[in-house]
Structure 1
Amino acid sequence: MNALMAQTHSKILSGKDFLTMKETTSKEISALLELAQNIKAKLHAGEEYKPLTGKTLGMIFEKSSTRTRVSFEVGMLQLGGNALFLSSNDLQIGRGEPISDTAKVLSEYIDGIMIRTFEHEKIMELAENASIPVINGLTDLAHPSQVMADFLTILELKGKLTGLKMSYIGDGNNVANSLMVGCAKMGMNFSLGCPEGYKPDEEIVAYAKGVAAENNCEVVVTTSAVEAIKDADIVYSDVWTSMGQELENSIRLEAFKSYQINGELVKHAKKDYIFMHCLPAHREEEVTAEVIDGPNSVVFHQAGNRLHAQKALLVDLLS
């Protein structure tokens, strides 16, 4: 069996935490994906693999979730550890205790923290003050754990990452930011189509373009959905209105109406494209039922890989 599967795991990530794709090298991403594939294979073969026996992950949720909570919680249990669901409503952090104090206190009790929150600054302060690993389960700026599951899915279905083209159509949000950087690091072409006023973070775009130039691939941001999706191997979408943006919903629906992924738009992608969505999806808004429930859609395979990709992160950071 691959050496990565040894109970005494050789650490992959050079840092203590997993906060954004920016701090992660292409070599580390590849090694984490290999570890995820091996952990997944062991699970499907019915082999016991419990390198996190006796370890506890604290999961702080300031944003609700289905996939993030269940995949991290089940992942810890399958790896022999424990997971604590910590709602901000139940913690002193929700009543004004400084993040730095919370980080230091939790470091006395548990072995790692996964947080799903709003401001990215909050996770940075948490990681800075915690002596234990901190994993980004989502912030308004980044969603790197989702990207690891996405890359695992693409690798399984396309056999490679390098040289493929991913087209992201929709809001230049946290998922778009992380995918863009991840694709650039892995030699994947990335094209984003979105309306003016909803483009991704300019500093992240500039960084991703620089990385892409070094890796012989391209990062393009355009207002044309057709231009973005042309010859795509992967077509990706997310909701137009994320949590915390509900008051903007009617404005956003109007701004994004020509960016819907539908039967006409996907004709510009490659015939064997795969459709991805981080879920939850709003059918007939960002994507039609024809596409998301069609033969090219892999959204549930992708959602399932959240478990395996995150188990690799947990093993690497907590064991």
Structure 2
Amino acid sequence: MSKLLIANSPVFTFLKTLHSCSTRRFSVGAASLSSVKGRSCLTLKDFSSDEIKRILWVSADLKHRIKHEKEYLPLLQGKSIAMIFEKRSTRTRMSTETGFALLGGHPCFLTTQDIHMGVNENYKDSARVLSGLCDIILARVYSHSTLEELDKEASIPIINGLSDRYHPIQILADFLTVQEHYGSLSGLTVSWIGKGNMVSHSFLMAAAKLGVHMKIATPKGYEPEKSVIEEAQRLSKQHGTQFVLTSDPMEAACDSNVLVTDTWVDFEKEEEEDKKKRLKDFEGFQITMQTGSVAKPDWIFLHCLPRKMEEVDDQVFYSSRSLIFPEAANRKWTIMGLMVSLLTDYDPKIPMIKF
């Protein structure tokens, strides 16, 4: 049979149409959701709106298929991750270790007491050695420059498990939690009430890209870094969202959908006088039901944990408005979504979630 006859046959036409529909399944409304395979994730500043949306979509897909449909998805079978922890952790360690194993891979937990990195061996050499032994590295470090050096020298993806500048994997979990609760993200307002730190920085690097308005309330002298504020202002203008910086927590809470805070004082490191000054500086910043009284009627509360009473009282923390425990659980699904996205060409099977 000639190629012309085959091309004009009803069967060929049907198969061509079927293929076209199959392709459009992931392209309609998501044509630009680019793959991030092979990339590192040191900060969400480096990721576009579509790339962040794709990671969240993959995360929601894995959660649905594995948790709800009880599917076994060995997407990372035969792969290993080096988990380097200079700082202790509950959620980051457990979510990464159990998540990588659930996907069929082998997690290796390493502290500074277990390896030579930064002690008897420089970061450059350690990065090159680990690149030949595993497929991806997650590092929870004190200095962001450590991550930058690892990323510069490694030939495999690096994930920021927390640094002094950014905490991107926390924000992915936060936005998945908010999306699940409200059904979409665009047009919502998130109010950060507390200290400018790595978590607030990460919110600012992602919020505008998802159509989310941001309000930041800090005491004077505790604002996010100047460069982060400037980038947040640029992103807000680019994406048509609002960005407010204030020293009044009630102004920030007004008409907000999400109230969020984090630790103000490191009680293990700061001297007693420093603690007293910090608590005095933050008077009025504790999130209470009074804070929420000026927010949207359906406002919710988030906290990356661990929490101290000074930041939020029990009435809010253990209320039905608090999504802190679903938020903590989503750390697992979003780190899984990120690792799968960085290591594979996986396409979600569920319809794209609404942003």
For Structure 1 versus Structure 2, the TM-score category normalised by the shorter chain is over 0.9
Q: 2:130 aligns with which of 84, 98, 106?
A: 106
Q: 2:191 aligns with which of 164, 167, 171?
A: 167
Instruction: Give the letter aligned to residue 55 of structure 2.
Output: L
Query: What is the distance in 2 between the residues matched to 1:114 and 1:243?
Result: 26
TM-fit CA distance, 1:197:
1.1
Q: 1:126 aligns with which of 134, 138, 150?
A: 150
Query: What is the distance in 2 between the residues matched to 1:94 and 1:181?
Result: 29
Change (3 A) 1:42 1:242: farther
Q: 2:203 aligns with which of 158, 164, 179?
A: 179
TM-fit CA distance, 1:16:
1.8
Query: What is the distance in 1 between the residues matched to 2:137 and 2:37?
Result: 18
Query: What secondary structure sits across from 2:241 in the alignment?
Result: coil
Q: Determine if contact 1:32/1:313 at 8 Å carries over to the other structure.
A: yes
Change (3 A) 1:185 1:245: farther
Instruction: Give the letter aligned to residue 29 of structure 1.
Output: I
Query: What is the distance in 2 between the residues matched to 1:19 and 1:177?
Result: 12
Q: 1:240 aligns with which of 264, 274, 277?
A: 264
Instruction: Give the letter aligned to residue 329 of structure 2.
Output: G
TM-fit CA distance, 1:102:
0.8
Determine whether 1:311 maps to 2:336. yes
Query: What secondary structure sits across from 2:284 in the alignment?
Result: helix
| Other-structure match for 1:36 | 59
Query: What is the distance in 1 between the residues matched to 2:115 and 2:278?
Result: 33
Please provide the CA RMSD for this pair. Answer: 1.8
Query: What is the distance in 1 between the residues matched to 2:218 and 2:176?
Result: 25
Q: Determine if contact 1:11/1:317 at 8 Å carries over to the other structure.
A: no
Change (3 A) 1:256 1:245: farther
Determine whether 1:274 maps to 2:304. no
Query: What is the distance in 2 between the residues matched to 1:68 and 1:243?
Result: 21
Q: Determine if contact 2:253/2:292 at 8 Å carries over to the other structure.
A: yes
Which range is displaced more, 247-256 or 74-83?
A: 247-256
| Other-structure match for 2:230 | 206
Query: What is the distance in 2 between the residues matched to 1:21 and 1:265?
Result: 29
Q: Determine if contact 2:34/2:51 at 8 Å carries over to the other structure.
A: no
| Other-structure match for 1:7 | none
| Other-structure match for 1:21 | 44
Determine whether 1:261 maps to 2:287. yes
Q: Determine if contact 1:120/1:139 at 8 Å carries over to the other structure.
A: yes
| Other-structure match for 2:176 | 152
Query: What secondary structure sits across from 1:290 in the alignment?
Result: helix
Change (3 A) 1:244 1:91: farther
Query: What secondary structure sits across from 1:294 in the alignment?
Result: coil
Q: Determine if contact 2:267/2:275 at 8 Å carries over to the other structure.
A: no
Describe the superposition over 1:148-171 as per-residue Cα deviations: whole angstroms up to 9, x where unpaired: 001111110011111100000001
Q: 2:323 aligns with which of 298, 306, 309?
A: 298
TM-fit CA distance, 1:250:
2.9
TM-fit CA distance, 1:15:
5.9
TM-fit CA distance, 1:245:
4.7
TM-fit CA distance, 1:249:
2.8
Q: 2:35 aligns with which of 7, 12, 21?
A: 12
Instruction: Give the letter aligned to residue 97 of structure 2.
Output: E
Q: Determine if contact 1:239/1:282 at 8 Å carries over to the other structure.
A: yes
Whose radius of gyration is greater, 1 or 2? 2
Describe the superposition over 1:270-290 as per-residue Cα deviations: whole angstroms up to 9, x where unpaired: 11101000011112x100000
Aligned length: 313
Q: Determine if contact 2:34/2:54 at 8 Å carries over to the other structure.
A: no
Query: What secondary structure sits across from 1:109 in the alignment?
Result: coil
Unpaired stretches in structure 1, ≥5 consecutive residues: 5-9
Q: Determine if contact 1:55/1:318 at 8 Å carries over to the other structure.
A: no
Instruction: Give the letter aligned to residue 306 of structure 2.
Output: P
Query: What secondary structure sits across from 2:337 in the alignment?
Result: helix
| Other-structure match for 1:250 | 276
